[in-house]
């Protein structure tokens, strides 16, 4: 059962990259060397996408969880007593921590996958493909 899931994931990744490759072949220049270089880079680009998915999704999830927690907690604490009140921040954290974990998990997987496919294919193994750049949500 695990092998069939892995095979299905590999097949879907291959199909997505196969759909993207005609756009790269039409980049310009009719020289045979350009076509050879673009064809040889497909292995590197597939590796860049795979590494971006494996490493970039957890990084984006942690970043999104932290971002949502640090944004939501003071905002909600201001509504019940102020962000300077320690007990108010503690009480609000009981709500915002689980909510930010769920929200960070969903948006982190989205942004991590998006960065892996978009930036990992055009610039393999670049920090942006691992969601490590400054603006990883582009």
Does 9 map to a domain?
Answer: no
pTM here is 0.68
Place of tokens 């921040």: 89
pLDDT in tens, 84-137: 888 888 899 999 999 999 999 999 999 999 988 888 888 888 888 888 877 655
In a domain, 121, yes or no: yes
Number of domains comprising the chain: 1
Give me the domain span that covers residue 129. Answer: 55-138
Does a structural domain hold residue 21?
no
Q: Give the whole-angstrom CA distance, residue 63 versus residue 68.
A: 9
Considering all CA atoms of the chain, what is the largest pairwise distance in Å, rounded to the nearest integer? 69
Q: What share of the chain is helix, strand, coil (3-state, %, to 5)?
A: 85, 0, 15
Of 67 and 82, the structure prediction assigns the larger pLDDT to: 67
**Rounded Cα gap, residues 66 and 60, in angstroms:** 10
Residue 87 domain flag: yes
- pLDDT value of residue 138: 41
């Amino acid at each position: 059962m695990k092998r069939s899931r892995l095979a299905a994931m590999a097949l879907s990744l291959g199909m997505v990259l196969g759909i993207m490759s005609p756009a790269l072949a039409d980049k310009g220049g009719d020289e045979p060397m350009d076509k050879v270089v673009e064809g040889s880079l497909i292995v590197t680009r597939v590796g860049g996408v795979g590494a971006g998915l494996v490493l970039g999704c957890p990084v984006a999830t942690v970043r999104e969880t932290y971002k949502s927690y640090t944004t939501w907690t003071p905002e909600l604490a201001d509504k019940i007593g102020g962000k300077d009140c320690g007990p108010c921040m503690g009480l609000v954290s009981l709500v915002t921590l689980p909510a930010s974990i769920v929200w960070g998990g969903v948006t982190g997987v989205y942004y991590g996958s998006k960065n892996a496919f978009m930036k990992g294919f055009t610039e393999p193994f670049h920090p942006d493909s691992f969601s490590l750049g400054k603006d990883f949500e582009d």
